[in-house]
């Protein structure tokens, strides 16, 4: 089985991986040269995110943190960022969760051919 297949099975079996949780931050400013700047960042919340080592009962290949980091190493953050799905109502200070959206399965092997990452809002700022 492929990595994504392992992740789907883990999700169905409700494994112990906490996944990845981030705090979304957005800043807009105007400088003295007349330029507008926009900065968006996703800061990993370490206490609420998996560190890649779930527990002795979970296969670490079934960890979303490991899958995400492996994808970044293999294809690069530019390609992953371009295919990510974001909610339209992200607000500064939102807590967001990273999930995997599986694509089509290969007819012959049964493995997932393509997938993308989805950002879902976990908690709105107060």
The CA distance from 39 to 28, in Å, is 6
The CA distance from 62 to 70, in Å, is 12
Q: Which tens digits make up the pLDDT trace of 33-69?
A: 999 999 999 999 988 888 776 655 555 555 777 778 8
Q: Which tens digits make up the pLDDT trace of 69-108?
A: 888 888 888 888 888 888 888 899 999 999 887 777 777 8
Q: Which tens digits make up the pLDDT trace of 1-37?
A: 455 555 554 444 345 678 889 999 999 999 999 999 9
The CA distance from 115 to 113, in Å, is 7
């Amino acid at each position: 089985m492929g990595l994504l297949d392992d992740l789907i099975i883990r999700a169905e079996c409700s494994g112990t991986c906490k996944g990845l949780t981030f705090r979304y931050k957005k800043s807009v400013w105007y400088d003295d040269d007349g330029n507008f700047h926009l900065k968006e960042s996703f800061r990993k919340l370490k206490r609420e995110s998996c560190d890649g080592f779930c527990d002795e009962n979970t296969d670490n290949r079934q960890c979303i943190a490991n899958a995400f980091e492996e994808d970044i190493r293999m294809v690069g953050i530019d390609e992953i960022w371009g295919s990510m799905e974001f909610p339209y109502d992200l607000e500064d200070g939102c807590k967001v969760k990273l999930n995997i959206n599986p694509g089509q399965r290969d007819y012959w092997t049964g493995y997932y051919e393509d997938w993308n990452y989805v950002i879902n809002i976990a908690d709105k700022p107060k």
